[in-house]
Structure 1
Amino acid sequence: MSGSHATPPVVVITGAHPKLYNHDLAPTAREGKTWGAFSIFAMWMSDVHSVGGYTFAASLFFLGLTGWQVLLSMVIGISAVYFLMNLIGRPSLKYGVPFPVVARMSFGVMGANLAASLRGIVGIVWYGVQTYFASKAVQVLVLTWFPDAVSLTHDSIAGLSTLGWLSFGFMWVFQLLIFLNGMETIRRFIDFCGPVVYVVMFGLAIWILAQTGTSSLDLQLSPPAGGSIGAHMANASMLIVAYFAALLLNFGDFSRFARDEKAMKLGNFLGLPVNFIVFAVITVVVTAGTVQVFGEAIMDPVLIVEKIGNPWIVALGSITFIVATMGINIVANFVSPAYDISNLNPERINFRTGGLITSILSVMVCPWLFVSSPQAITIFVGIFGAVLGPMFGIMVSDYYLVRKQHVIVEDLYSMSASGSLHFENGWNRRALVALVLSGAASIGLSLLGTYKVIPNIGDWGWLVGASLGAVLHLALMSRETRVAPAPAE
């Protein structure tokens, strides 16, 4: 189904319905589980080591907290992410299935299309946005080495200059070529992305410290915050959880390939608590140093290397962060929509075709116009981003508390009315009610926080939505009598 490109071996489900099954959605076979702890670790490095991740980590030190208060908030927030990521990763690890198939357990074999579509929309939009951000680094690189190319920046075609279109097109094609080679190529690519960024980040930190000295660095980058320090620290911790909201839903797209639970947990531990905190410390050392070296706090690493002025350093820095952005884009924003779109019509759309559709739709979003409108981003995050928490709560409570970690695999691919996941014509109305109610609460909190009606309340939208979704789903499912019995071990 994937042409000449190698695909992981799968468990063939006899009698699977074609509306629910293809090679890419089938359970990964034992010999297809090739991701060890390092590959999971490298995946998280790719997710964190981006321009967006750098800016996010630096921004935490502008919340009016002291350096140790920020670090303590980070430890609490990223430890929570580690625990939650292990929870959502386990069903995919056990059964070898991606996120849209896991969603069938709670939403029903057809209702999972709604959950997958919502996650897919978020991924497509952010895929376009990240591709655009990476293309800006390409443009910096071109202008550094070919100053005459500035003449290509004076026009505007649908909101982008000629050079802007060429840079965006380059990034779009380059990422697509990597993706179309399949998950094993993606694994090898992200094994390379994360570590290479550390080389440049450590280089930047050493250069900054050489310019400023270690004794003069101040890790508090903004005036002390008023009000309760505990509340500010709690908000900082929740910001970290919210930052990982997308992958907290579809981490199963990767954990399905993990060799075993030990590899998944070790990779998650190294990639989340350890890696995130080390990366954040390096980030704040560099950011704090820019205050003394350049007279202002610069939170964009591409701009820092550009200001250094050496064209070779600009080239090294720009290429590194282009690679880094590609890494996070493929991990967080490309793989999930590819599976999600494939899930809509498995007979005609496989993983690679889903990825191609994702790429095309990401251009149609016109991300350069999207990021120039704060209101558009606000509405998008408020409506679509806020429902990721409720879906997480529903899926986790269903798997651990309703099904007690036991699912009949064949029912994941069955349209039979007697199947344990068929519910009402393939839709679990109880899960949908829980999603609507908890999603409304989460969206409301997000918008109240965004528009400063209640400051910082939006940071808690994910936790409130996830908790409410879990409780509502559990309460509504308590009357459900068709949960699959635990199979004999």
Structure 2
Amino acid sequence: MNRLSDLDPIPPEERTWGGIDYWAYWCSDMLAPPLASTVSSVMALGFTARETIPIVFFGFAICSVAITLTGKMGATYNVSFPVIVRSVFGMYGSIPAICIRAFVAAMWAAILTVQASNYLQRCIEAIWPSFITFPNHLPESAGIDSAGLLCFFLYWFLQTGLAIMPISKLRVLFWVKAIIVPPTFLALFIWAVVVTKGGGPLIKGKVELTSTYMNTIYSALSGLNAVMGLFSSLAVNMPDFGRFSKDKMAGNQQFLALPIIGTLGALTPIFVTDAHSYLWGDFEWYMPSVIAKFDSRAAKFFVSASFLLATIANQIAADTYPFANDFSGMLPEYLNIFRANIIISIFCVISIPWQIIKNASGLLAFLSGYSCLMGPLAGTMICDYYLVKKSKLDVDQLYTDHGIYWYNRGWNWRAHVSFVVGFAPLLPGFAKSIKPTLDIGSAWKIYTFAWIFGFFLSLATHFVISTWISVPTDALIERAVYPPQKGEIDVPVLEGEDASTKESYMAREKDLAELA
């Protein structure tokens, strides 16, 4: 298997993330506009704020378990998702799994580029109010006006410059966001509480159910699924960030960080939307539209700048960087992370994302519902790593053709069958999410908790196949082989050995020769 340095295990000197860095990361990733969209989708099902908050908490709590488990894979072997997934699906069989994640990341990156440019536009309007009346030379069919297009390209240059930086150096960006954005969220929350005198209709009232085929139980499950879906992709590719951990325990902080930050962060969009209804008479979840109505130019600028920072950090962490990892993992002989970031930046323009937002409601429904793909994928990965292989991998073999992870011509059919079994029952509901008029009978009930259903069904299926029906004996090893640790010579390390001495190195070479 051809390899480039971007896919190699992270060297010890670059493993700099500690527990506190994960709290900063989740402040960066969580406190962003997609959280408001998720909360709105839950409340649109008919729940008050008091009913929504527990759903948000439990949704993030469940998701945090999967994220912590997959992140620990990367922290243990210091490799990214495209590499670790080879041990699950096979050297070639991993490509479809990588494609699923890469496609969704690319589409969301393009869409977030448009949304972030709207915050940049609000910043410019706050500094130069005349920009509000910037002349438009584009037809209505373009789906964007001249001012919006200008801001789109200004933001595009900004995010491209940051995206091509090494992720290990972007820790500073996540820390800056963790310092600036939470106070902004808190200030907006306090403002909303004050202007509504403790809460308006959204806080104290009841919203009618928008879905005619759901009762309260299935609405709650659907809301729970929407919350888990927000970071369902990270439940798969968290090794991309976990590999930078100082030790394999550092990422355990995510188990607490995710539900705590997410639940507290959800209060702000709820109360701000409530304040918008109280002041202007309608519910508005899209923050650029809310900010546009602020009278204070200073407030408009600082809030917009803060949300701009939140969006760009979220876009890099959840979309552009995972795409670059995934794409370079599929074509390592041609691409590295830098080149893949250039590709996704170009895609953000040529995909004409403002038209996607305007017209492609079906595609947006697909992107919102892709958690039904991520659930089975995460379940298969976690089962294979923890239950089948007992967390024991050979890091060298992850880069070796015809090695222990070759399975059957590069494909591990067990993992693919497990994924299909977990996804197939969700397919009717998935189709209905794209085409709401489709009649699927009662099959929609399963889709309301798609991520949980797919996760556990794939996990159980893979466990049964791989431990009882067809055990992948060649891929099961007694002693794990790790990448070099700090202060050790540059050779893989067998579990329980110290490679910093010549004696242990020679013993390891002898063991490997005997295995060969």
TM-score (norm 2): 0.84
Distance 1:124 1:274 in 2: 28
Aligned pair 1:387/2:369, yes or no?
no
Task: Indicate the larger mover: 387-396 or 150-159.
Answer: 150-159
Matched, 1:212 2:201: no
Which of 38, 45, 65 in structure 1 is aligned with 2:27? 45
> Residues 279-428 of structure 1: matches in 2 within 5 Å?
279-378=265-364, 380-381=366-367, 386-415=372-401, 417=402, 419-428=403-412
* Bigger Cα Rg: 2
Please say if 1:197 is aligned against 2:186.
no
Retained in 2: the 8 A contact 1:438–1:469? yes
Contact 2:90 2:406 in 1 (8 A): yes
Alignment: residue pair count: 468
Counterpart in 1 of 2:427? Answer: 443
2:83, 2:157 → 1: CA distance?
29
Distance 2:349 2:423 in 1: 28
Q: What is the SS of the residue equivalent to 1:219? A: helix
Against the structure 1 CA distance between its residues 382 and 468, is the aligned structure 2 distance closer, same or farther, given a 3 Å change threshold? farther
Structure 1: gaps (5+ residues): 1-16
Q: Which range moved further: 37-46 or 251-260?
A: 37-46
Residue 80 of structure 1 is aligned with which of 59, 62, 70?
62
**Which has the higher mean CA deviation after the structures are superposed, 105-114 or 296-305?**
296-305
Q: What is the deviation of 1:95?
A: 0.3
Q: Counterpart of 2:133? A: 150
d(CA) in 2 for partners of 1:215, 1:134? 29
Question: Bigger shift: 248-257 or 140-149?
Answer: 140-149
Q: 1:9 matched to which residue of 2?
A: none
Q: Which one of 102, 108, 114 corresponds to residue 90 of structure 2?
A: 108
Q: What's the offset of the Cα at 1:333?
A: 0.4
Give the letter aligned to residue 234 of structure 1: L
Post-superposition Cα deviations, 1:392-445, rounded to whole Å, max 9, x if no partner, equal: 111111111211111111110101x2x210112222223223333433333332
Q: Is the counterpart of residue 482 in structure 1 residue 490 in structure 2? A: no
Find the partner of 2:250 among 258, 263, 278.
Answer: 263
Instruction: Please state whether the residue corresponding to 2:300 is helix, strand or coil.
Output: helix
| 1:169 maps to which of 153, 156, 177 | 153
Q: Does 1:459 align with 2:451?
A: no
**Does the aligned pair in 1 maintain the 2:426–2:446 contact within 8 Å?**
no
Structure 1 counterpart of 2:413, which letter?
Answer: R
Residue 65 in structure 1 maps to residue 47 in structure 2? yes
CA contact (8 A) 1:197 1:324 kept: yes
- Determine helix, strand or coil for the equivalent of 1:482: helix
Contact 2:143 2:355 in 1 (8 A): yes
Alignment partners' CA distance in 2, 1:210 and 1:383: 36
Q: Which one is further off, 425-434 or 251-260?
A: 425-434
Is 1:471 aligned with 2:446? no
CA contact (8 A) 1:235 1:456 kept: no
AA aligned to 2:234 is L
| Alpha-carbon distance between aligned partners in 2 of 1:369 and 1:321, rounded to the nearest angstrom | 23
Query: Percent of pairs identical after alignment?
Result: 24
Q: Counterparts of 1:287 and 1:376 in 2: how far apart (Å)?
A: 26
1:182-232 per-residue CA deviation (whole Å, 9 max, x = no partner) reads 113321112112432222222222222332322767624533659754443
Identify which of 98, 107, 124 aligns with 2:106. Answer: 124
Q: Partners in 2 of 1:427 and 1:457 — Cα distance?
A: 29
Residue 149 and residue 230 in structure 1: after superposition, are their counterparts in 2 closer, same or farther (change >3 A)? Answer: closer
What is the Cα deviation at residue 98 of structure 1?
A: 0.5
Q: Runs of 5+ in structure 2 lacking a partner?
A: 480-494, 497-516
Aligned counterparts, 1:13-28, within 5 A? 17=1, 19=2, 21-28=3-10
Q: Which moved more, 1:439-448 or 1:387-396?
A: 439-448
> Closer, same or farther in 2 for the Cα pair 1:221/1:379, shift >3 Å?
same
For residues 427 and 364 of structure 2, the distance between their equivalents in structure 1, rounded to whole angstroms, comes to 11
For residue 6 of structure 2, give the secondary structure of its aligned residue in structure 1.
coil
Question: Which shows bigger deviation, 39-48 or 334-343?
Answer: 39-48
Aligned partners of 1:55 and 1:299 also within 8 Å:
yes
CA distance in 2, matches of 1:280, 1:205: 10
Q: Rate the CA distance shift 1:200–1:93 in 2: closer, same or farther, 3 A.
A: same
Cα pair 1:179 1:185 within 8 Å, conserved: no
Name the structure 1 match of 2:170.
186
Q: Does the 8 Å CA contact 1:64/1:221 hold for their aligned counterparts? A: no
How far does residue 447 in structure 1 lie from its aligned partner after superposition?
2.1
2:5 aligned counterpart, secondary structure: coil
Distance 1:409 1:330, change over 3 A: same
CA distance in 2 between counterparts of 1:230 and 1:438 reads 22
Which of 30-39 and 140-149 deviates more?
Answer: 140-149
Distance 1:325 1:456 in 2: 33
TM-score (norm 1): 0.88
Structure 2 contact 78–244 (Cα < 8 Å) conserved: yes
| Paired residue type of 1:246 | S
Residue aligning to 2:489: none
* Distance apart, 1:129 and its partner CA: 0.4
Q: Which moved more, 1:89-98 or 1:179-188?
A: 179-188
Mapped to 1, the partners of 2:475 and 2:76 lie a distance apart of: 18
Query: 1:382 and 1:60 mapped to 2: Cα distance?
Result: 13
Q: State how far apart, in whole Å, the 1-side matches of 2:409 and 2:261 are.
A: 45
Residue aligning to 2:231: 244
Contact preservation (8 Å) 1:143, 1:150: no
Write the distance in 1 (CA, Å) between the matches of 2:50 and 2:122: 36
Q: Secondary structure at the match of 1:308?
A: coil
Q: How far, CA to CA, are the matches of 2:78 and 2:243 in structure 1?
A: 4
Question: Would the aligned equivalents of 1:61 and 1:219 in 2 still touch at CA under 8 Å?
Answer: no
